[in-house]
Structure 1
Amino acid sequence: MRITINNRQIETLEGETLLEAARREGISIPSICYAKGAKHISSCMVCAVKNCQNGQIIPSCTTLPTEGMCIDTESEEVQRVRTLSLELLLSDHRADCEAPCVLVCPKGLDIERMLGYYDEGDLGRAYSVLSEAFDLPTLGCDGCKAPCEKVCRRGTVDKGVEIRAIIRSIVEKAPKEMAGTDSDVRPDKQGFISKLGRFSAEEKAYLKENVKGASRCLHCACGGRSKCLLRACATGAGIKRSRYDATSNMPAGHKIHVVGNLWFEPAKCVRCGLCVYNTENGFTFRNRGFGMEVLIPEENKNNVDEQIARLCPTGALYVKAHERKED
Structure 2
Amino acid sequence: MPRLKIDNIAIDVPEGTTVLKAALSMGIQIPSMCYLEGCSNHPTCMVCMVRNNSNQQMLPSCATLATEGMDLASNDPEVFEARKEAIELLLSDHVGDCEAPCRVACPAYMDIPKMNRFIAKGEFDEALKVVKEEIALPGILGHICSAPCEKVCRRKDVDQAVSICLLKRISADEEEFFYLPIKKKNSGKKVAVIGSGPAGLAAAYHLVKDGHACEVFEQENRLGGSLIESLKNGELPENILTKEIEILKQFGLVFHTDKKIDKENWEQIKSDFNAVIIATGSVTEIGEELGLKTANAGVWINSDTFATEQTGIFATGSAIRVQKMAVKAVAMGKECAWSVDEFLRNGEGKATRRAFNSRFGTLRKEELSEYLKESVSDVRVEAKSVKGFTKEEAMQEAARCLHCDCRKVDNCKLRICADTHNADRRRFVFGERNSAVKYFDHESIVYEPEKCIKCGLCIEIAERHQEKTGLTNIGRGFTVKVAVPFHQSINKALTIAAKECAAACPTGALSLRSN
Q: State the TM-score, normalizing by the size of structure 1.
A: 0.85
Kept after mapping to 2: 8 A contact 1:51/1:57: yes
* Aligned counterpart in structure 1 of residue 411 of structure 2, from 214, 224, 227: 227
Pick which of 283-292 and 100-109 moved more. Answer: 100-109
In structure 1, the partner of 2:354 is: 190
Per-residue displacement from partner, 1:203-230 (whole Å, max 9, x unpaired)?
1244357631733111111111211111
Residue matched to 1:295: 483
- Relative to its length, the structure with more helix (as a share) is 2
1:319 aligns with 2:512: yes
For 1:91 and 1:251, the matched residues in 2 are separated by 14
Go from structure 1 to structure 2 and tell me whether the alpha carbon gap of 1:7 and 1:274 turns closer, same or farther (over 3 Å shift). Answer: same
Give the equivalent residue in structure 2 for 1:218.
402
TM-score (norm 2): 0.56
Q: Which structure carries more relative contact order (alpha carbon 8 Å, separation 6+)?
A: 1
In structure 2, what is the equivalent of residue 37 of structure 1? 38
The answer on whether the counterparts of 2:139 and 2:173 sit within 8 Å (CA) in structure 1 is: no
1:261-276 aligned within 5 A: 261-276=444-459
Match of 2:219 in 1: none
Give the structure 2 partner of residue 144 of structure 1.
145
Deviation at 1:301, TM superposition (A): 2.3
Map 1:61-76 to 2 at 5 A.
61-76=62-77
SS at match of 2:165: helix
8 Å contact kept, 1:251–1:267: yes
What amino acid does structure 2 have at the position aligned with 1:83?
A: K
AA aligned to 2:434 is N
**2:465 is the counterpart of 1:277:** no
* Residue 120 of structure 1: how far off its partner (Å): 2.3
**What are the within-5 Å matches in structure 2 for residues 80-159 of structure 1?**
80-133=81-134, 138-159=139-160
In 2, Cα distance between equivalents of 1:134 and 1:72 = 45
Query: Is there any run of 5+ residues in structure 2 with no aligned partner, and where?
Result: 182-351, 378-395
Task: Provide the rounded CA distance (Å) in 1 between the counterparts of 2:60 and 2:37.
Answer: 15
In structure 1, what is the equivalent of residue 247 of structure 2? Answer: none
Structure 1: gaps of 5 or more residues: 181-187
Superposed CA offset, 1:110-162 (max 9, x none): 21111111222333433443444556783323332211001212223432212
- Structure 1 partner of 2:436: 251
SS at match of 1:155: helix
For 1:123 and 1:174, how far apart are their aligned partners in 2? 11
Correspondence for 1:308 among 498, 501, 504: 501
Larger radius of gyration: 2
Structure 2 Cα separation of the partners of residues 133 and 66 of structure 1: 51
Residues paired across the two proteins, number: 313
- Conserved 8 A contact 1:193-1:240: no
Out of 304-313 and 132-141, give the one that drifted further: 132-141
Rounded to whole Å, the distance in 2 between the matches of 1:91 and 1:212 is: 31
When the two chains are superposed, the root-mean-square deviation of aligned CA atoms in Å is: 2.7
Deviation string 1:175-221 (CA, Å, 9 cap, x unpaired) is 536699xxxxxxx9622111132322211244357631733111111
How far residue 75 of structure 1 moved from its aligned partner, in angstroms, is 3.1
Alpha carbons of structure 1 residues 176 and 225: separation in structure 2 relative to 1, 3 Å: same
Q: What is the percentage of aligned positions where both structures have the same residue?
A: 38
